[in-house]
Amino acid sequence: MTLLVQILPALVYVTQTAHALPPHRPVPSTQTHDDVPDPNDTCLSPSAIQTASFLTGLEPNTPGIRPGLSYSATNPANFINFCAPHPLTNGRQTPLGSCNGIPMGRLPPASKMISSLITFPSPAANLPANKTFTVRLKISNLAAGFLTNPSASYYAAPQDLDDASGGLSMGHCHITIQGPGSLSSSSSSSSLEPPDPAKFAFFKGVDDRPAEPGASSPRRVCTMVAAQNHQPVLMPVAQRGAQDDCVRFSVA
Ligand SMILES: *[C@@H]1O[C@H](CO)[C@@H](O)[C@H](O)[C@H]1NC(C)=O
Ligand SMILES: *[C@@H]1O[C@H](CO)[C@@H](O)[C@H](O)[C@H]1NC(C)=O
């Protein structure tokens, strides 16, 4: 072991997850991986270490430096113990917040980034009250139909790509409708506040009933595209069009 640590100085053992190991699983005493690391090993493979995280990104002569940038946090071991001092997400949706230590996962190529468009309702549409309607949308580059148990596996595995479909992001989409709430707090759109994300009129199902009968009541419908384990999809480059779409409409 000492020899291994000398050869691979960044090899770090995960200590916090001992309680989470399957009961039958032996604690690894040596690491013998050659080219392909054991995906179940509880120590970080040298081939997985991201050396960019050694640095703040603002060291002198680093490309891209400009005023206003923040120092990145650094860690020599992929932050694998980042969550150890905090309550772990551990597959649960925790309203008080938590820390999720699962890797972000595989990102699709820029040619396969997700894009969404809500085709109904149309922007500024005024829909009749108490009448069921169907939200229609188009999503490109999503390998849909992958949905893990949100009560037990929330953020519990990395984003993955569907190699069978040529590398599309595996996941699913939600529809969320908000309003009226703050959307109707003012007639001047410049004084509107972002709607409270904890308050939504509908999630997934779309069967709108206005809270203020008779009033023309604003709503916002949005897609929320997610990877299998419900995390928002991660795309490979920062400068791009949004993966989600929102349409504001009203109900009268
Ligand atoms: C890793 O563990 C899972 C059970 O969690 C098992 O099904 C799988 O076969 C293991 N993979 C390897 C490569 O040992
Ligand atoms: C919509 O339904 C609500 C609750 O049933 C009712 O109070 C309201 O009058 C209805 N509005 C219209 C325009 O039908």
* Among protein residues, the one whose CA lies closest to atom 6 of ligand 2: 213
User: Do 172 and 148 touch, CB atoms closer than 8 A?
Assistant: no
Instruction: Using most ligand atoms within 8 A of CB, pick from 126, 127, 130 the residue to mutate for ligand 2.
Output: 130
* Among protein residues, the one whose CA lies closest to atom 14 of ligand 1: 40
- Shortest-distance ligand to the CA of residue 20: 1
b/e sequence 41-59, b meaning 16+ C-beta within 10 Å: ebbbbeeebeeebeeeeee
Pairing of strands 217-227, 202-203: unpaired
Instruction: Using most ligand atoms within 8 A of CB, pick from 17, 21, 40, 45 the residue to mutate for ligand 1.
Output: 40
Q: What is the DSSP string of 209-226?
A: --SSTTS-EEEEEEEEEE
Domain ranges of the chain: 1-82, 110-185+196-251
b/e sequence 154-189, b meaning 16+ C-beta within 10 Å: bbbeebbbbeeeebbbbbbbebbbbbbbebbeeeee
- Shortest-distance ligand to the CA of residue 25: 1
Ligand 2 atom closest to the CA of 210, numbered from 1 = 1
Which residues approach ligand 2 with their CB closer than 6 A?
129-130, 209, 213
* Prior bond of 180 cis (ω within 30°): yes
User: Do 115 and 139 touch, CB atoms closer than 8 A?
Assistant: yes
Q: Specify the pLDDT at position 184.
A: 60
- Distances in Å between the alpha carbon of 174 and those of 29, 65, 83, 209? 44, 38, 28, 19
Answer yes or no: is the C-beta of 40 below 6 A from any ligand 1 atom.
yes
Q: What is the DSSP string of 118-133?
A: EEESPTT-EEPTT---
What are the per-10-residue average pLDDT scores of the chain (252 residues)?
22 26 40 69 94 96 95 96 96 94 96 93 90 88 91 96 93 85 61 78 47 60 86 87 88 82
Answer yes or no: is the C-beta of 39 below 6 A from any ligand 1 atom.
yes
Q: What are phi and psi of 47, to 5 degrees?
A: -75, -10
Q: Is 147 exposed, middle or buried, given 0-12, 13-18 or 19+ CB atoms closer than 10 A?
A: middle
- Choose among 160, 134, 164, 135: nearest CA to 146: 160
- Choose among 123, 117, 119: nearest CA to 219: 123
Tokens linked to 165: 């479909």
Q: What are phi and psi of 126, to 5 degrees?
A: -120, 105
Q: What is the DSSP string of 21-89?
A: S-TTPPPPS----SSS--TT-SB--GGG--GGGGS-S-STT-TT--TTPPPPP--TTTTTTTTTTS-B-
Q: Which helix (H) or strand (E) holds 202?
A: strand 202-203
Amino acid at 91: G
Q: If you measure from the C-alpha of residue 189 to the centroid of ligand 2, how many angstroms do you get, rounded to a whole number?
A: 27
Measured in whole angstroms, the distance separating CA 219 from the mean position of its chain's CA atoms is: 24
Q: Specify the pLDDT at position 46.
A: 94
